[in-house]
């Protein structure tokens, strides 16, 4: 493998290879950042059965990644409030480019490519103005920055491209932060999360907010079904004795439903949903809680709970066929389908928060 990678790196450097494909990288199904026992941070490609296919170094802790739709290329984002993102060729292991947030901005750990892979959109904080922005980067031109537009709220965390290829949905968490204060949340009493639908040209098409009593329920992560249904996971910033819904659905007509499991399972989530995913067949939706060591699965159409999976420190979550793939902070990788968990692999890697479907 090392000789093959050296050879490929050489011909890429010489301009003889037009682009690498995901098949050349071993056809990984997922990407995840992690921490090795040595203290080294890595970005890994995983198979559909949880096997590590490649492992590439990161300079610091990663959060999520964006997989290019055509090339075997991943953008690995630093954990908030990071100012770097690395563009990595997942075949050669070469770092192709580094994205540096402009002065007065930092990344939130998530990004999304345009449908044709020409542009990368990044969720960012304009921390002096306490407003969210979406950065625009030229993925065909060395990832130079082209500009930015407003995210439609404060604290944009996750961002996804809608199935129409012309709309972005943004999870504006509503939480104001500033690098001078680290990760301290500065506006909890007045926070106002929103789900913003933006044109790829930056025009705000619609912003959806929750009821006033849920204004401390930070909208953080997103999953989008082929029919345009958006699932969003929330993290409660209020009284720990309260247990508001942590999963929301926004249908194509923009009606919103908030889902919760039974009292015991819901309470165990500890007010924190770390990831959300919709199964490949569009029938189920799931959320994870590393605090509760729990994954909850719901019937997407009926909006009713189907069951739970218990895995210590579980957070990473992605669709895998008609079921889901799960990763945990203690190295576990497991599948869940047909109402049953299937342990797959355990690695000496502490998987970070997110598992990204390629």
44: in domain: no
66: in domain: no
Q: What is the mean pLDDT of the chain?
A: 92
112: in domain: no
327: in domain: yes
Query: What's the average model confidence in pLDDT over 95-121?
Result: 96
- pLDDT value at position 230? 98
- What are the pLDDT digits (tens) for 246-267? 999 999 999 999 999 999 999 9
- Residue 191 clears pLDDT 60, i.e. is over it: yes
- DSSP of 231-275: EEEEEE-S-TT-----EEEE-TT--EEEE---HHHHHHTTTB--E
At 63, is the pLDDT very low, low, confident or very high (cuts 50, 70, 90)?
very high
- pLDDT value at position 5? 41
Query: What's the average model confidence in pLDDT over 23-48?
Result: 95
- Residue 7 clears pLDDT 50, i.e. is over it: no
- pLDDT value at position 13? 39
| Number of residues written out for the chain | 358
Q: Which domain holds residue 300?
A: 217-358
Cα–Cα distance, 354 to 39 (Å, whole number): 19
Cα–Cα distance, 321 to 239 (Å, whole number): 38
202: in domain: no
Q: Is 214 helix (H, G, I), strand (E, B) or coil?
A: helix
309: in domain: yes
Q: What is the CATH number of the domain that holds 309?
A: 2.130.10.10
Structure tokens at 244: 């508001």
- pLDDT value at position 183? 81
316: in domain: yes
Rounded to 5 degrees, what angle do the CA atoms 150, 109, 190 make? 55
Q: How many domains does the chain have?
A: 1
Cα–Cα distance, 26 to 182 (Å, whole number): 38
At 269, is the pLDDT very low, low, confident or very high (cuts 50, 70, 90)?
very high
> pLDDT > 70: what percent of the chain?
95
What sections of the chain are H helices per DSSP? 2-13, 263-268
Count CA atoms closer than 13 A to 108's CA, side-chain side: 32
- DSSP of 179-200: GGGTT--S-GGG---EEEEEET
Q: Is 40 helix (H, G, I), strand (E, B) or coil?
A: coil
Residue 73 bridge partners (DSSP): 89
- Residue 17 clears pLDDT 60, i.e. is over it: no
91: in domain: no
Cα–Cα distance, 314 to 182 (Å, whole number): 25
Report strand pairing: 304-310 vs 294-299: antiparallel
At 18, is the pLDDT very low, low, confident or very high (cuts 50, 70, 90)?
low
- pLDDT value at position 37? 97
């Amino acid at each position: 493998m090392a000789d093959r990678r050296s050879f490929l790196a050489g011909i890429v450097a010489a301009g003889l290879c037009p682009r690498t494909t995901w098949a050349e990288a071993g056809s990984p199904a997922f990407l995840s950042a992690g921490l090795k026992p040595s203290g080294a941070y890595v970005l890994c490609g995983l198979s559909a059965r949880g096997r590590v296919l490649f492992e590439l170094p990161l300079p610091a802790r990663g959060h999520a990644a964006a997989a290019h739709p055509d090339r075997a290329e991943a953008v690995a984002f630093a954990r908030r409030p990071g100012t770097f993102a690395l563009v990595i060729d997942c075949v050669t292991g070469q770092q192709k480019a580094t994205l540096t947030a402009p002065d007065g901005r930092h990344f939130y750990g998530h990004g999304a490519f345009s449908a044709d892979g020409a542009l990368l959109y990044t969720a960012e904080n304009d921390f002096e103005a306490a407003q969210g922005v979406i950065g625009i980067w030229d993925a065909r031109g060395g990832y130079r920055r082209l500009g930015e537009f407003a995210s439609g709220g404060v604290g944009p965390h996750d961002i996804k491209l809608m199935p129409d290829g012309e709309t972005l949905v943004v999870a504006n968490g509503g939480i104001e932060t500033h690098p001078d204060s680290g990760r301290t949340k500065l506006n909890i009493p007045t926070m106002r999360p929103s789900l913003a639908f933006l044109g790829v040209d930056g025009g705000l098409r619609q912003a959806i907010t929750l009821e006033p009593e849920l204004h401390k329920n930070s909208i953080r992560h997103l999953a989008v079904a082929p029919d345009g249904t958006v699932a969003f996971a929330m993290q409660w910033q209020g009284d720990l004795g309260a247990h508001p819904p942590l999963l929301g659905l926004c249908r194509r007509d923009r009606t919103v439903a908030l889902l919760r499991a039974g009292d015991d399972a819901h309470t165990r989530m500890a007010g924190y949903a770390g990831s959300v995913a919709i199964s490949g067949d569009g029938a189920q939706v799931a959320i994870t809680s590393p605090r509760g060591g729990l994954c909850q699965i719901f019937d997407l159409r009926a909006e009713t709970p189907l069951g739970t999976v218990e895995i210590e420190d579980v957070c990473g979550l992605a669709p895998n066929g008609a079921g889901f793939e799960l990763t945990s902070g203690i190295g576990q990788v497991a599948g869940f389908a047909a109402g049953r968990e299937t342990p797959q692999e355990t690695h000496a890697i502490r998987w970070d928060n997110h598992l990204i479907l390629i």
